[in-house]
A and B are shown apart, each in its own frame.
Chain A
Amino acid sequence: MGIFQRFARIPLKSTYIWSLCRQYSTDLTAVDRALIQHRCVHNRGLGASPGNPGAAPPRLPFSRVTQEDLAFFRTLLPGRTITDPDLLKSSNVDWLKTVEGNSEVLLRPKTTEEVSQILRYCNERNLAVCPQGGNTGLVGGSVPVFDEIILSTSLMKQVITFDNISGILTCQAGCVLENLSNYLEERDFIMPLDLGAKGSCHIGGNVSTNAGGLRLLRYGSLRGTVLGLEVVLADGRILNCLATLRKDNTGYDLKQLFIGSEGTLGVITAVSILCPRKPKAVNVAFLGCSSFQQLLETFQCCRGMLGEILSAFEFLDASCMSLLEKHLKLTNPITESPFYIVIETAGSNATHDEEKLHKFLEEVMTSSLVTDGTVATEATKIKALWSLRERVTEALTHEGYTYKYDISLPVEKIYDLVQDMRGHLGDMAKNVVGYGHVGDGNLHLNITSPSKDPALLAAIEPYVYEWTSKWKGSISAEHGLGLKKRNYIYYSKPSEAVALMGSIKAMLDPKGILNPYKTLPDNIH
């Protein structure tokens, strides 16, 4: 795919230093080697290289924060300009604890106007900014790489309006997803998206990353449910496209540019989103299948028999279940199987839904597509069954270091990748697990190791991306590119598309101050 041609254009200096590291590494002790590796790999500006495209590029020539800058921020945001290194620590590190920056300033605006003034100032002073929501991203996109100023939405948590006839909610970007869900549930509505990170993630961050989640199968993606955005551009201009209209075909749909742009084209400050009614009846079934083929047939059967009431179809494999049992002490509610499915139905009539669900379950049990299963209609049990799928990410963190891959593939090929990787990696990996939104064709492939292992990484990448590319899949189905995957974009997008993305970025953020080093590949700059 010509990816190496692009890397030939990386500054010679960093490649030279990288090759120096490799040259000397055999003469050094393991500790020295690890130190050099760390320096070469992690945020120390020695550059991304063909050996490690996820590492940070050299620091771009942005200004550094001065005392005058701090004085300005402190006047604008009294008590909300954080410079204490202890307080900054948690905002400098990502949730997976794999990426760490060195920001010295964290700003907490409360209004769009404050965000606008911050960005206008930073643009003039050529100061880089890292917008941050709940900091739950998994690709290193939500934390600074060097000393970018962190712009946090944590105090922008007001619900602005909610119309209970249209179901349209307007709120500031810093509202936590779970809080919005609770707010809506009291009014008989729900958010159109749901993810494991709901207790911490902000809706602004969800929109910036076009988060998918567990309900996408039923309610669609944010590209359909977000009706309007209010965005502050790099130079401080406020773009108010916060429409609350279901239909509006007047000109280009600018909000689509910002959805999924990962904070690189503008800072989202408010969102208007279409919310579905709260289903009166929710049922969850947890089933066991003895092969992936049967899982797929169960999916087909499910689609046919449950139809419009199906709201989620997730899977996890036996390795995930053993991790849940081992690290989180959760119990498997059914007999051990190679694959497990979580099916959720949501509808307005409990009797109607239960009848459909029971007919479906009878069908899959008698035809032996499913070997065992259990059903829950009560909220407590439903939560317990969902936690078996939602907490896999958490269980993985207890293994040591996790290499995470979020891949979109044709549905039949999903598990082939997991099995292939197992064979390919052999003993090098501690565990290779697969789980995810099989209904959407989205696999979460996770490979664990007791600690960071460059040899393992070299065996995984670019093999996994090439495999994905071969089947015309996406190397990042919903997690985005962030820092870690920016240089892999060419596996899933043609160069003309990436070049156009670069032009749009240059137009909207000529100085490149918004979330630099993220999303777009290094060689575009």
Chain B
Amino acid sequence: MLPLRFRRVTMSARVLVGVKRVIDYAVKIRVKPDRTGVVTDGVKHSMNPFCEIAVEEAVKLKEKKLVKEVVAVSCGPQQVQETIRTALAMGADRGIHVEVSGKDYETLGPLQVSKIFAALAKKEQADLIILGKQAIDDDCNQTGQMTAALLDWPQGTFASEVTLEADKLKVVREIDGGLETIKIKLPAVVTADLRLNTPRYATLPNIMKAKKKKIVNVKPADLGVDVSSRLEVLKVDEPPQRQSGVKVETVHDLVEKLKEAGRI
């Protein structure tokens, strides 16, 4: 007779996947003239690439019948619904849009988002949270870890391979020295690294189906989360311009130039 906990995990597991709407990877970033941030108006946005990998992993688990439901969550203004729809088109079952807009959205950071996820995990009785390892706009790499700490759940970060074994998760992590394999008990938080999988293209039949899937709106206050920030951005600058190199015709010229520059 299988322990009750094991049965719950494998037959009715619910996965929460966080998807963040960020400026598209291929867009050239421009700093606002007032140096308070980057230009986002009229700029192409898309799902954070690591979040795509997270969605793909969750959908794969569902296809292997190891989890029952995949819920895509995003925090932000009306536009993040597009990002949730993309996750639905990739195979997520339903979406939750946590409404944060205006000044609150500008100052929204990993601490507030992790509080939101922790609250949602409890509310939705999630067994697994999969997030991207970091967002390509702020490069924070904090949300997964903070969420795990708030929930007091184990974490498998920088995952390049995830295997569900009974009620434990075997996670192969990419670390500086190579690969580390850990086993963590569910419920747990996993953050996806680049080599975890290759996200699928959302095909038309699934895009059509996704239109009928539900996205529910929720406010942070409903979850008891205060989204005010305790951080203030002082200024945002472009990195220093790379000076152009100089081509010289002869070795003699090279030596002269190096002497001029005080290098020799």
Interface residues of A (CB under 8 A from B): 79, 186, 280, 286-287, 331, 333-335, 361-362, 365, 370, 372-381, 383
Q: B49 to chain A: which residues have CB within 8 Å?
A: 380
Contact call A380/B26, Cβ cutoff below 8 A: yes
Q: Shortest beta-carbon distance, B55 to chain A, in Å?
A: 14
Contact call B44/A379, Cβ cutoff below 8 A: yes
Contact call A377/B46, Cβ cutoff below 8 A: yes
Contact call A380/B25, Cβ cutoff below 8 A: yes
Question: Would A383 and B203 be within 8 Å (CB), given that A280-B42, A365-B208, A377-B46 are in contact?
Answer: no
Contact call A374/B204, Cβ cutoff below 8 A: yes
Q: Shortest beta-carbon distance, B254 to chain A, in Å?
A: 16
Does B249 touch A at the CB level, under 8 Å?
A: yes
Does B161 touch A at the CB level, under 8 Å?
A: no
User: In the complex, what distance in Å separates the CA atom of A38 from the CA atom of B44?
Assistant: 54
Does B174 touch A at the CB level, under 8 Å?
A: no
Q: A375 to chain B: which residues have CB within 8 Å?
A: 202, 204, 207
Q: B249 to chain A: which residues have CB within 8 Å?
A: 79
User: In the complex, what distance in Å separates the CA atom of A376 from the CA atom of B44?
Assistant: 12
Which chain B residues (1-36) contact chain A, with CB distance < 8 Å? Answer: 24-28
Q: A380 to chain B: which residues have CB within 8 Å?
A: 24-26, 46, 49
User: In the complex, what distance in Å separates the CA atom of A362 from the CA atom of B204?
Assistant: 8
Does B239 touch A at the CB level, under 8 Å?
A: no
Contacts A365-B205, A372-B203 given; 19 further ones with Cβ under 8 A?
A186-B28, A286-B201, A335-B203, A361-B204, A361-B207, A365-B204, A365-B208, A372-B204, A374-B203, A374-B204, A375-B204, A378-B24, A379-B24, A379-B25, A379-B27, A379-B46, A380-B49, A381-B201, A383-B26
Q: B205 to chain A: which residues have CB within 8 Å?
A: 365, 372
Q: In the complex, which residue of chain A has the Cβ closest to the Cβ of B46?
A: A378
Size of the chain B interface, CB-CB below 8 angstroms: 19
Q: B46 to chain A: which residues have CB within 8 Å?
A: 377-381
Q: B207 to chain A: which residues have CB within 8 Å?
A: 361, 374-375
Q: In the complex, which residue of chain A has the Cβ closest to the Cβ of B203?
A: A374
Q: In the complex, which residue of chain B has the Cβ closest to the Cβ of A379?
A: B26
User: In the complex, what distance in Å separates the CA atom of A333 from the CA atom of B27?
Assistant: 23
User: In the complex, what distance in Å separates the CA atom of A280 from the CA atom of B201?
Assistant: 23
Contact sample, A vs B, 5 pairs, CB 8 Å cutoff: A280-B42, A373-B203, A375-B202, A375-B207, A379-B27
Q: B24 to chain A: which residues have CB within 8 Å?
A: 378-380
**For the complex of A and B, 9 pairs with smallest distance between CB atoms:** A379-B26, A378-B46, A333-B201, A374-B201, A373-B204, A378-B24, A380-B26, A380-B25, A379-B24
User: In the complex, what distance in Å separates the CA atom of A186 from the CA atom of B47?
Assistant: 24
Q: Shortest beta-carbon distance, B49 to chain A, in Å?
A: 8
Q: In the complex, which residue of chain B has the Cβ closest to the Cβ of A372?
A: B203
User: In the complex, what distance in Å separates the CA atom of A279 from the CA atom of B27?
Assistant: 14
Per-position 1/0 for B77-118, Cβ under 8 A of A = 000000000000000000000000000000000000000000
Q: From DSSP, what is the main secondary structure of chain B's interface residues?
A: loop
| Cβ-defined partner of B204 (8 Å) among A79, A186, A370, A379 | A370
Greatest chain B CB density within 10 A among A186, A372, A374 is at A374
User: In the complex, what distance in Å separates the CA atom of A242 from the CA atom of B146?
Assistant: 63
User: In the complex, what distance in Å separates the CA atom of A361 from the CA atom of B49?
Assistant: 25
User: In the complex, what distance in Å separates the CA atom of A175 from the CA atom of B75?
Assistant: 45
Contact call B201/A362, Cβ cutoff below 8 A: no
Q: A373 to chain B: which residues have CB within 8 Å?
A: 203-204
Question: Would A362 and B44 be within 8 Å (CB), given that A375-B202, A379-B26 are in contact?
Answer: no
Q: In the complex, which residue of chain B has the Cβ closest to the Cβ of A182?
A: B28
User: In the complex, what distance in Å separates the CA atom of A335 from the CA atom of B202?
Assistant: 12
Q: In the complex, which residue of chain A has the Cβ closest to the Cβ of B25?
A: A380
Q: Shortest beta-carbon distance, A327 to chain B, in Å?
A: 19
Which chain B residues (30-59) contact chain A, with CB distance < 8 Å? Answer: 42, 44, 46-47, 49
Q: Shortest beta-carbon distance, B56 to chain A, in Å?
A: 13
User: In the complex, what distance in Å separates the CA atom of A280 from the CA atom of B43?
Assistant: 9
Q: Shortest beta-carbon distance, A348 to chain B, in Å?
A: 11
Q: B42 to chain A: which residues have CB within 8 Å?
A: 280
Q: In the complex, which residue of chain A has the Cβ closest to the Cβ of B198?
A: A331
Q: B25 to chain A: which residues have CB within 8 Å?
A: 378-380
Q: A379 to chain B: which residues have CB within 8 Å?
A: 24-27, 44, 46
User: In the complex, what distance in Å separates the CA atom of A362 from the CA atom of B27?
Assistant: 29
Q: B47 to chain A: which residues have CB within 8 Å?
A: 378
User: In the complex, what distance in Å separates the CA atom of A435 from the CA atom of B91?
Assistant: 32
Q: In the complex, which residue of chain B has the Cβ closest to the Cβ of A280?
A: B42
Q: Shortest beta-carbon distance, B155 to chain A, in Å?
A: 28
Q: Shortest beta-carbon distance, B197 to chain A, in Å?
A: 13
Q: B203 to chain A: which residues have CB within 8 Å?
A: 333-335, 372-374
Greatest chain B CB density within 10 A among A186, A286, A379, A383 is at A379
Q: B202 to chain A: which residues have CB within 8 Å?
A: 374-375
User: In the complex, what distance in Å separates the CA atom of A330 from the CA atom of B198?
Assistant: 12
Q: A365 to chain B: which residues have CB within 8 Å?
A: 204-205, 208
Q: In the complex, which residue of chain B has the Cβ closest to the Cβ of A331?
A: B198
User: In the complex, what distance in Å separates the CA atom of A365 from the CA atom of B205?
Assistant: 8
Per-position 1/0 for B188-206, Cβ under 8 A of A = 0000000000100111110
User: In the complex, what distance in Å separates the CA atom of A335 from the CA atom of B206?
Assistant: 13
Contact call B201/A334, Cβ cutoff below 8 A: yes
Q: In the complex, which residue of chain A has the Cβ closest to the Cβ of B49?
A: A380
Q: B204 to chain A: which residues have CB within 8 Å?
A: 287, 361, 365, 370, 372-375
Q: Shortest beta-carbon distance, B210 to chain A, in Å?
A: 11
Q: In the complex, which residue of chain B has the Cβ closest to the Cβ of A282?
A: B44
Q: In the complex, which residue of chain A has the Cβ closest to the Cβ of B206?
A: A374
Greatest chain A CB density within 10 A among B28, B201, B203, B249 is at B201
User: In the complex, what distance in Å separates the CA atom of A372 from the CA atom of B208?
Assistant: 12
Q: In the complex, which residue of chain B has the Cβ closest to the Cβ of A335?
A: B203
Q: A286 to chain B: which residues have CB within 8 Å?
A: 201
Q: In the complex, which residue of chain B has the Cβ closest to the Cβ of A287?
A: B204
User: In the complex, what distance in Å separates the CA atom of A156 from the CA atom of B42?
Assistant: 35
Q: A376 to chain B: which residues have CB within 8 Å?
A: 201
Q: In the complex, which residue of chain B has the Cβ closest to the Cβ of A385?
A: B201
Q: A186 to chain B: which residues have CB within 8 Å?
A: 28
User: In the complex, what distance in Å separates the CA atom of A334 from the CA atom of B200?
Assistant: 9
Q: In the complex, which residue of chain A has the Cβ closest to the Cβ of B249?
A: A79
Q: In the complex, which residue of chain B has the Cβ closest to the Cβ of A365?
A: B204
User: In the complex, what distance in Å separates the CA atom of A299 from the CA atom of B200?
Assistant: 26
User: In the complex, what distance in Å separates the CA atom of A383 from the CA atom of B26?
Assistant: 9
| Cβ-defined partner of B44 (8 Å) among A79, A287, A331, A378 | A378
Which chain B residues (147-206) contact chain A, with CB distance < 8 Å? Answer: 198, 201-205
Q: A280 to chain B: which residues have CB within 8 Å?
A: 42
Q: In the complex, which residue of chain B has the Cβ closest to the Cβ of A378?
A: B46
Q: In the complex, which residue of chain B has the Cβ closest to the Cβ of A285?
A: B204
Q: A79 to chain B: which residues have CB within 8 Å?
A: 249
Q: A381 to chain B: which residues have CB within 8 Å?
A: 46, 201
Q: Shortest beta-carbon distance, A387 to chain B, in Å?
A: 13
User: In the complex, what distance in Å separates the CA atom of A333 from the CA atom of B49?
Assistant: 17
Q: Shortest beta-carbon distance, A215 to chain B, in Å?
A: 19
Q: Shortest beta-carbon distance, B216 to chain A, in Å?
A: 23
User: In the complex, what distance in Å separates the CA atom of A359 from the CA atom of B165?
Assistant: 44
Q: Shortest beta-carbon distance, B77 to chain A, in Å?
A: 15
User: In the complex, what distance in Å separates the CA atom of A378 from the CA atom of B28?
Assistant: 13
User: In the complex, what distance in Å separates the CA atom of A381 from the CA atom of B49?
Assistant: 11
